[in-house]
Homo-oligomer: A and B are copies of this chain.
Amino acid sequence: ILETCMVSKTYQVQNSTIKAVDEVSLSIKAGEFVALVGPSGSGKTTMLAMLAGLLTPSGGSIVINGQPLERMSDSQRTRFRRQNIGFTFQSSNLVPYLSVLENVELMLKVNGRDGRQERQQARDLLVKLGLGDRLNSKPSQLSGGQQQRVAIARSIIHNPDIVLADEPTASLDTERAIQVVSVFAELIHARRLAGVMVTHDLRMCRYVDRVIQMQDGRIRQVLSSRAE
């Protein structure tokens, strides 16, 4: 579903050139859950932002569901992202004046899918993630890990084909982290989505199908956990 070919992102910072991502080619099939790991600064967030269509590559191409992102206009890419991609980034980015439930329902609304059944699914998903008693709270009233869980619910409620998560468990204790990663794995496998999760927590890698290691903007090695 998701394919990149020699994709790069370069920044000019004063006199030097930073190759945040350096000619990366990878492909992720339907139903495949991939962990993207690597040292701080190795290019994981930059990679994810390009896969999400939020950042334009400096070179190479990204094709999702057969559609090349670089050939889309900004508005086409925005619409494509809204319908087909779900993502969470390192900060939870919730709408501060909407409640927990409204933040998740918003994702259904913008996709014209906020019927009663979908809104019940939003509620059920939040209960599953341990937020059932906080549906009407505002983001500022939640702990860091609670905000992260709302962002995660919002990223998958509209059934995107692609799920991209940047360190979704960074603020979670082990029990919650396992639960979140299991919810991702469950959805990805059952609905044949393509999923990429950036994580520093190598214990989470036992729930994925493949681990891609990055270093200095490149892919260093690929490990298939099914082989073990």
Which A positions have Cβ atoms within 8 angstroms of B? 11, 13-14, 16, 37-41, 44-46, 90-91, 130, 133-134, 136-137, 141-146, 149, 166-167, 170-177, 200-202
Question: CA–CA, A207 to B176, complex, Å?
Answer: 24
- Most chain B beta-carbon contacts within 10 A, residue among A133, A173, A176: A173
Are A40 and B176 CB-contacts (below 8 A) given A91-B91, A136-B14? yes
Taken together, the copies of this chain in the complex come to: 2
Q: Are A170 and B173 in contact (CB under 8 A)?
A: no
Q: Are A173 and B145 in contact (CB under 8 A)?
A: no
Q: Are A171 and B90 in contact (CB under 8 A)?
A: yes
Q: Which of B40, B46, B143 contacts A171 (CB 8 A)?
A: B40
Q: Which of B39, B146, B200 contacts A40 (CB 8 A)?
A: B146
Question: CA–CA, A37 to B136, complex, Å?
Answer: 27
- Name the B residues within 8 Å of A145 (CB-CB): 40-41, 200
Q: Are A40 and B173 in contact (CB under 8 A)?
A: yes
Q: Are B200 and A171 in contact (CB under 8 A)?
A: yes
Q: Which of B14, B45, B90, B200 contacts A174 (CB 8 A)?
A: B200
Q: Are B143 and A41 in contact (CB under 8 A)?
A: yes
- Name the B residues within 8 Å of A37 (CB-CB): 173
Q: Are A143 and B45 in contact (CB under 8 A)?
A: yes
Q: Which of B134, B143, B173, B200 contacts A172 (CB 8 A)?
A: B200
Instruction: With both chains docked as a complex, state the minimum distance between the C-beta of A212 and any C-beta of chain B, in angstroms.
Output: 14
- Name the B residues within 8 Å of A11 (CB-CB): 141
